[in-house]
Chain A
Amino acid sequence: MSSADALSVRVFPRLYRDSVTLMALAASAQKADGVVRVGAVMATPANLAILAEAGMLPEGLAASPDDLIISVRATDETAADAALDVAEAGLSAQDAGTGERVEVLPQTLAEGLAVDATCTVAAVSTPGTYAPVVVEQALRRGLHVFCFSDNVSVADEVRLKRMAAERNLLLMGPDCGTAILDGTPLGFANAVRPGPIAMIAASGTGAQEVSCLLDAAGAGVSQIIGVGGRDLSEDVGGLTTNVALDLVLADPGTEVVVLVSKPASPAVADALLARLGSVGRPVVACLLGLEDSDGAVTVRGTLEGGAAAAASAVGLELATTSGTPEPPPATLSARGVVGLYTGGTLASEAKVILGRADVAAEILDLGDDKYTAGRPHPMIDPSARAEHVEAAGSRADVGLLLVDLVIGHGAAADPATPLADAVRAARAAAERDGRTLVVVGSVCGTAADPQGIDGQRAILREAGVLLFASNAAAVRYAVACASQPPGSQADRQEELS
């Protein structure tokens, strides 16, 4: 054996404990200092043989099979006795259990449905690698799917959307940011009033802007069905858009249908417009960048134009201001126009309007993968954009900065304050260089949103942001400014005062 030289044994006559209890007892007593080995057994012949084999059975020990033996080998007698005391105390351990059961949270779709079989929609925001797995599981269980996850291949998207279409289920996404289904918002959505207008949207912030403009006009939405940015591409072919159309056309609460998308594949758009033209109720196709036209389907190339057409279909008009009168065009101290957007479709709309006016500008969608890499979307974490805004203040070539601010469910709790701080810093930096930076924008949201549009607007105004009723109005203002002949610093200050 070892250098250990103390072997102490205690016999507990006619005391029974199960062998597993005794092994656990021995394992815990063995942890004490100076203890080499502990054996705790019922004194059956077989167990005594095991103890003897391990050198832990004193010669001539008298014990019967009904007796319990604890044997300790330790470096000295004190340690051995201490270990025996610990083991003996363990024989009469008090119940420390609370009797409470820990409920296991459901981890899988199947387990979630076992908790509540009435679920009808699965919202999926897992890493993209696993999103197709979860989406397939949900579809096979008859659930509609809101898939926020991105980084899903086109092949998976097509396969899963076919599977959904066969089952008459909605697969919203992948990369779907916004939906309002029967009044329930999912992802980034605003607290808009209920009403007769259904939106089918391949663009999340596009749907938010149109629904908020409608809300301000007094018009409400029945549904917003996001379909994912690629739904109207050649590959996907509008699979979800068509299922969504079936559903909204059967929805008694829907009178007007609005389609919102960034530029679509011409073939897919043509097929869709052909179907939309014969649905027997007003349809507005808000397809960014297309020429406006009025036929069986009202086609609009901007979000604001689409919202106006939809409002008009229910006899309403869009609001023209954000609460303060629009200022006259400013004279810019530099020609450069920069747009720093968090809403991708708002950025696209800005490009369309600037392009139509032939005004060159630098418009960035900071929600794009190339800017987010490893960080949350700027609608969730506004600090990402703040850095860009501050940097713009030091650029001598920039005279006007365009921004958006998207609020609502899912967005940051107070996105206006970090933007306002960044605008102040940018304007101060420009000021130090003897320039003036004009900052122009709009807030996409409603009074009923958790952040409240009025408070968010006030914060931005206080930082000197000129606010407009819509992104389109803000961009038009930028166009007007950029179209002014360049003026002196004095002229410009006069106009702003």
Chain B
Amino acid sequence: MIAGGVRVLNVGLPLIVDGVDPDAVVQLDWRPPAFGDADAARLMASLDTERTAEANDRAVTAMHAVRPQLTSIRPAREVVPGLAEGRLLLHAGPPIEVERMCGPMLGALMGAAVFEGWAADGDQARALLESGEIAVAPCHHHQAVGPMAGVVAPSMPVVVVEDGGRQAFASLNEGLGKVLRFGAYDDEVITRLRWMREVLGPVLDAALRRSGPIDITSLVAQALMMGDEGHNRNVAATSLFARRLGPAIAVEESGTEVLGFLAGNDHFMLNVSMAAAKLATDAAVGIADSTVVTAMSRNGVEFGLRVAGTGEQWFTAPVGPADGLFFPGYSIEDANPDLGDSAITETLGVGGFAMAASPAITQFVGGTPDDALATTRSMRRITVRPHPAYSIPSLNFTGTPSGIDVLKVLDTGVLPVINTGIAHRLAGIGQIGAGIVTAPPEVFQQAVRGLADRRSTV
């Protein structure tokens, strides 16, 4: 009577299948879904349709089809929409009022205002920011991303990645220590930013023009084979970048200086791969009915999530500090709540999702390569399918898990794992450690409500 024979998926009490041949039973280790929010669970089930599956397939196909090319490095005001005129600064994360900003973000914005010459000092900058005479907006609203405070000012050089007529941008990485993205803005910081504007940007731009665009997907794929995971470890990618562009940089005036800077900054490529990830995930924005995540981002107060089917809407929840490993002299008490647009890398399928590629940093997830593998495998449970470009040896050359599905996160209760740097909560001290955070459950519970609202009004 039952086509295919009676083979039972048992959701709950084992005694229900007491009399069934054990070979015909799959027992689930079922847990309440949606982090215990029964209403969100019901919406999750109602959205779990063929239509959603098709939309998610389209979304991930679109993301994977993007092949970001690093083409140039230009002043932000020339290329980033909205920065050509007026006084606008971009920051990381979902939107936030100046009054609610964390120390490092406010410090970075004050520093950027001084750097732009809009304010003589920090106090004046703060007054202009608080009065709204200097406007702020999320990078994500301007096709851009930035790590930590993520501040982009009009005269800063930004990397330009493009594919098929679309563009995405990111600031240039300043290195570790006292840097603007951790809220420092003393003379040392401003001087370095000026050098980056006057020397680093133009030299790299000229070198790029000389050598031709760089395919970032290939470069990141290669780096994953060399022990990077693409978020907290970028030494392989940065080395590949310097090697690729080295000959063209060397012939420029100040080329040696620039090469020296790259040699001293393991994370230079992070910003470039973030821009590339942004360009890829943006390809899925607005795909109706899709429940695939297109952005995860933190502003130091709140975590923000965007989903393909809800377009540019943010779902936000308070965020805490990352627990992790700290530099000598610091502890979790010093840590700022999680910050930065860099989780765009996990959104595409690298970073925490590629832990299995990076034996060197497995201490973040338990200490052994087996633990790293388990972390990557667990991300398979919440994603649509592997990224075809990012195949890694320890997964038998399967791609890294890619395309976070809100419905799967709710169904499994598995939260996206995000590798992250940890900023000191006071502006200007800088990075004090690195570790792992998971996205807060609330943003997924909100997202499914947003998706369901959208569905019912269509």
Point out residues on A near B: beta carbons under 8 Å: 18, 20-21, 23-24, 26-27, 37-41, 46, 49-51, 53-56, 71, 97, 99-102, 104-113, 115-116, 118-127, 129-130, 132-134, 136-138, 140, 143-144, 146, 148-149, 181-187, 189, 191, 222-223, 247-248, 250-251, 253, 380, 408-410, 450
Task: Beyond A130-B32, A130-B33, A410-B18, list 8 extra A-B contacts (CB 8 Å).
Answer: A24-B325, A46-B175, A54-B327, A112-B28, A137-B411, A149-B12, A181-B2, A186-B20
A-side interface mostly: mixed
**Residue pair A136, B20 in contact (C-beta under 8 Å):** no
> What are the 10 A-B residue pairs with the smallest beta carbon separation, nearest first?
A39-B328, A54-B329, A125-B12, A409-B19, A23-B325, A24-B363, A185-B19, A18-B360, A105-B29, A136-B45
**Residue pair A109, B19 in contact (C-beta under 8 Å):** no
CA distance A140 to B411 in the complex (A): 14
**Cβ 8 A contact of B264, one of A46, A50, A55, A126:** A46
Encode B391-429 as 1/0 by CB contact (under 8 A) with A. 000000000000000001001110000000000000000
Q: Does B209 contact A (CB under 8 A)?
A: no
Encode B29-71 as 1/0 by CB contact (under 8 A) with A. 1111100001001101110110000000000000000000000
**Residue pair B329, A50 in contact (C-beta under 8 Å):** yes
**Cβ 8 A contact of A112, one of B9, B18, B176, B329:** B9
**Residue pair B264, A137 in contact (C-beta under 8 Å):** no
CA distance A27 to B377 in the complex (A): 27
Complex interface: chain A residues within 8 A of B120 (CB): none
CA distance A27 to B12 in the complex (A): 41
Complex interface: chain A residues within 8 A of B458 (CB): none
Complex interface: chain B residues within 8 A of A101 (CB): 370, 373-374
Complex interface: chain A residues within 8 A of B413 (CB): 107
**Cβ 8 A contact of A110, one of B10, B15, B328, B411:** B411
**Residue pair A102, B10 in contact (C-beta under 8 Å):** no
Report the minimal beta-carbon distance from A174 to chain B, rounded to whole angstroms: 12
CA distance A72 to B17 in the complex (A): 59
**Residue pair A39, B329 in contact (C-beta under 8 Å):** yes
**Residue pair A107, B31 in contact (C-beta under 8 Å):** yes
**Residue pair B177, A49 in contact (C-beta under 8 Å):** yes
CA distance A150 to B393 in the complex (A): 48
Complex interface: chain A residues within 8 A of B6 (CB): 120-121, 181-184
**Residue pair A140, B49 in contact (C-beta under 8 Å):** yes
Complex interface: chain A residues within 8 A of B373 (CB): 101
**Residue pair A20, B361 in contact (C-beta under 8 Å):** yes
List 15 interface pairs A-B (beta carbons < 8 Å), by A numbering: A20-B364, A27-B325, A46-B175, A97-B370, A99-B370, A104-B378, A105-B27, A105-B28, A112-B11, A120-B3, A123-B10, A140-B48, A181-B2, A186-B20, A410-B15
- With A106-B28, A112-B26, A120-B3 given, is the CB distance from A27 to B46 under 8 Å? no
Encode B342-376 as 1/0 by CB contact (under 8 A) with A. 00000000000000000011111001111001100
CA distance A127 to B7 in the complex (A): 23
* B328, B362, B368, B369: most-surrounded residue (chain A CB, <10 A): B328
Name the residue on A nearest B266 (C-beta). A19
Q: Does B381 contact A (CB under 8 A)?
A: yes
Name the residue on A nearest B176 (C-beta). A46
Complex interface: chain B residues within 8 A of A21 (CB): 360, 363
**Residue pair A26, B328 in contact (C-beta under 8 Å):** yes
**Cβ 8 A contact of B17, one of A40, A123, A137, A223:** A123
**Residue pair A251, B1 in contact (C-beta under 8 Å):** yes
CA distance A21 to B359 in the complex (A): 10
**Residue pair B1, A108 in contact (C-beta under 8 Å):** no
Q: Does B165 contact A (CB under 8 A)?
A: no
**Residue pair B26, A115 in contact (C-beta under 8 Å):** yes
CA distance A119 to B23 in the complex (A): 11
- With A46-B176, A107-B28, A108-B412 given, is the CB distance from A118 to B7 under 8 Å? yes
CA distance A183 to B30 in the complex (A): 26
**Residue pair A24, B26 in contact (C-beta under 8 Å):** no
* A21, A119, A187, A410: most-surrounded residue (chain B CB, <10 A): A119
Q: Does B127 contact A (CB under 8 A)?
A: no
**Cβ 8 A contact of B363, one of A20, A124, A191, A247:** A20
CA distance A129 to B38 in the complex (A): 7
**Residue pair A123, B16 in contact (C-beta under 8 Å):** yes
**Residue pair B15, A132 in contact (C-beta under 8 Å):** no
**Residue pair A108, B33 in contact (C-beta under 8 Å):** yes
**Residue pair B12, A126 in contact (C-beta under 8 Å):** yes
Complex interface: chain B residues within 8 A of A408 (CB): 19
Name the residue on B nearest A225 (C-beta). B1
Q: Does B8 contact A (CB under 8 A)?
A: yes
CA distance A24 to B363 in the complex (A): 6
Complex interface: chain B residues within 8 A of A50 (CB): 177, 327-329
Complex interface: chain B residues within 8 A of A127 (CB): 32
Name the residue on B nearest A50 (C-beta). B327
Q: Does B164 contact A (CB under 8 A)?
A: no
Complex interface: chain B residues within 8 A of A53 (CB): 329
CA distance A191 to B412 in the complex (A): 36
